[in-house]
């Protein structure tokens, strides 16, 4: 069965982009079938029990190999009707490597085991792998002192197998929550600055700091030992480009994904689990550090209404619902003159951050495709205010497209959009939490079309590991939309994540069929 998910849970796990929701029974071939549990929910208290490895694209939860035995190593019954993808465009398939593959000393962990796993991936014709290069590992001790040794060894192994590389510039913290077996903080020298000046971090209305990533308020402030945040990111990217020149020149590195915020995504860290957020809370605005506060006040003065230089009152807390707040409720203050001013400023600050970093990324990686990851915040999508999207920085309320301006900014820099949650079904979300007013399918349709209308490439990744035909079919339908008059399709797909379950039969065989169909190859029996 396709594994239903709840998008963007950096909440539950700091680097997470998606989490599973309770799965309803489904009816393949007209017969009831109980979906194996991946993330177990207590009935209505919204308490999560996590017992699954490789939970998301940016973090993972430990689980014994035996935990996979009964629930995951199944290929369930499928419909007799299968779409024939032979002759369709070739969509490259990449596989994310485990998070802990490089340790804090920048050493490659267990290269022999990795080599064997990569050989198995090569045997099913995957195009390449994705790997995070963590700022907190590479530049951890001193500014401009970069240690790339583990990554160089890894890249040589990948290249020797004739696999390609998608590389992520990961400027955020990974892990840190209970159950995580990988924790990679920001560089030590940065966290030392943060002890003296905590305003370098995003801050909520109660003054709680979030050390997942640096506030965009210091993009142009020389608070990082004489450098701005933008300069720090650029010099890291430039160091990578110089260090791995041979892999660029021979085509081994096919794409660079630029981390732009929490979880490597272009968004505010509006729903952190460490501050008590639980699904489907609306989250909170994250603009209370002194730098963003100053920016807001300056914008209010320029608008001629200096008293607007404050964050909204009555916007609730992390776990509020829209109707319980004066700001997000139907007819609420979000649609007032002040509300529109604030949300324009808040969302434009997000877009401006992406604009600044991508301008320098194109300088560092001239000639190499770059991409940006966008989170799929689908809860409260069916309400007028789209509250959860607003607190994350996406000004996407009813009658206003919040993703078109982001797509236009990406177009300016020739950047691809990487979007999550393409495999989620709205029905599954409604079964689990009907009060969340979620609509992942509506969100996916809006975002993909915003990107395609802007004529930029669109890539994607699955939310949770998928091992069965129905789940792969859902991904394929989004990768290659049926009867699209323009023949639009994904530019690439990245599978989350390399693990023992994927390489165990019959899962590997099913994955191989999926790869063939993504490649547009004929598959016997389908």
Residues classed as catalytic? 265, 461
Q: Which residue has the tokens 């400027």?
A: 171
Nearest to 136 by CA among 101, 187, 170: 187
> What is residue 229's DSSP assignment?
H
Query: CA 333 to CA 314: how far, in whole Å?
Result: 9
Beta-carbon count within 10 A of 162 CB? 10
CB crowding 452-489: b at 16 or more within 10 Å, else e: bebebbbbbbbbbbbbbbbbbbbbbebbbbeeeeeeeb
Q: Which has the closest alpha carbon to 145: 176, 181, 182, 189? A: 189
CA 2 to chain centre: 19
How far does Cα 314 stand from its chain's mean position? 29
Query: Strands 492-495 and 458-461: what pairing?
Result: parallel
Q: Tell me the backbone φ, ψ of residue 162, rounded to 5 degrees.
A: 60, 40
Alpha helix positions (H), 104-256? 111-123, 135-138, 149-160, 188-196, 229-243, 245-249
Both structure tokens of 224: 């990082």
How far apart, in whole angstroms, are the C-alpha atoms of residue 276 and residue 311?
A: 21
Report the phi/psi class of residue 525: left, alpha or beta, with left for phi > 0 and alpha for psi in -120 to 50.
left
The SS3 call for residue 416 is strand
Q: What's the CA gap between 169 and 109, in Å, rounded? A: 20
DSSP at 452? H
The answer, yes or no, to whether the previous bond of 476 is cis (omega within 30 of 0) is no
User: What element of type H or E holds 166?
Assistant: strand 164-170
Tokens 């696999």 belong to 163
Do residues 402 and 343 make contact, with C-beta atoms less than 8 angstroms apart? Answer: no
Are 369 and 361 in contact by the 8 Å Cβ rule? The answer is no
Residue 215 and residue 168 in contact, taking contact as beta carbons nearer than 8 Å: no
69 Cβ contact list (under 8 Å, min separation 6)? none
CB 346 within 8 A of CB 401: no
């Amino acid at each position: 069965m396709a594994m239903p998910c709840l998008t963007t849970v950096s909440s539950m796990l700091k680097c997470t982009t998606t989490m599973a929701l309770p799965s309803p029974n489904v009816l393949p071939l007209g017969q009831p079938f109980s979906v194996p549990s991946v993330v177990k929910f207590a009935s209505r208290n919204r308490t999560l029990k996590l017992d699954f490895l490789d939970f998301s694209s940016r973090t993972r939860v430990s689980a014994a190999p035996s935990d996979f035995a009964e629930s995951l190593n199944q290929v369930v019954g499928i419909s007799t009707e299968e779409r024939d993808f032979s002759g369709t465009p070739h969509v490259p398939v990449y596989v994310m490597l485990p998070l802990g593959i490089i340790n804090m000393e920048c050493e490659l962990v267990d290269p022999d085991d990795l080599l064997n796993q990569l050989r198995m991936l090569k045997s099913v014709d995957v195009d390449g792998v994705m790997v995070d290069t963590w700022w907190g590992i590479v530049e951890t001790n001193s500014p401009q002192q970069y240690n790339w040794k583990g990554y160089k060894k890894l890249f040589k192994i990948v290249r020797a197998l004739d696999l390609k590389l998608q590389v992520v510039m990961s400027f955020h913290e990974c892990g840190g929550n209970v159950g995580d077996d990988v924790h990679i903080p920001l560089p030590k020298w940065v966290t030392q600055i943060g002890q003296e000046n905590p305003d370098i971090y995003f801050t909520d209305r109660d003054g709680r700091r979030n050390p997942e990533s640096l506030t965009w308020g210091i993009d142009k402030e020389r608070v990082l030992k004489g450098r701005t945040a933008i300069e720090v990111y650029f010099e890291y990217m430039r160091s990578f480009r110089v260090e791995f020149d041979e892999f660029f020149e021979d085509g081994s590195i096919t794409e660079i994904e630029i981390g732009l915020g929490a979880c490597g995504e272009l968004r505010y860290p509006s729903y952190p689990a460490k501050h008590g957020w639980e699904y489907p809370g609306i989250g909170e605005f994250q603009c209370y550090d002194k730098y963003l506060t100053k920016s807001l006040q300056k914008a209010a003065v320029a608008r001629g209404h200096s008293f607007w230089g404050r964050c909204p009152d009555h916007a609730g807390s992390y776990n509020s619902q829209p109707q319980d707040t004066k700001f997000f409720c139907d007819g609420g203050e979000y649609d007032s003159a002040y509300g529109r001013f604030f949300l324009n400023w808040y969302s434009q600050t997000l877009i401006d951050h992406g604009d600044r970093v991508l301008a320098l990324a194109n300088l560092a990686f001239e000639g190499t495709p770059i991409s940006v990851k966008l989170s799929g915040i689908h809860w409260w999508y069916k309400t007028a205010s789209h509250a959860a999207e607003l607190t994350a920085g996406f000004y996407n309320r009813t009658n206003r497209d919040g993703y078109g301006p982001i797509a236009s900014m990406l177009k300016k820099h020739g950047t691809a959009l990487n979007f999550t949650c393409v495999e989620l079904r709205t029905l599954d979300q409604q079964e689990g939490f009907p009060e969340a007013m979620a609509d992942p399918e509506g969100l996916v349709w809006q975002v993909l079309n915003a990107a395609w209308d802007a004529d930029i490439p669109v890539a994607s990744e699955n939310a949770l590991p998928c091992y069965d035909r129905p789940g792969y079919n859902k991904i394929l339908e989004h990768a290659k939309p049926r009867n699209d008059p323009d023949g639009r399709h994904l530019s690439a797909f990245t599978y989350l994540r390399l693990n023992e379950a994927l390489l165990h039969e019959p899962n590997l065989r099913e994955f191989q069929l999926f790869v063939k169909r993504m490649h547009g190859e004929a598959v016997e029996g389908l």
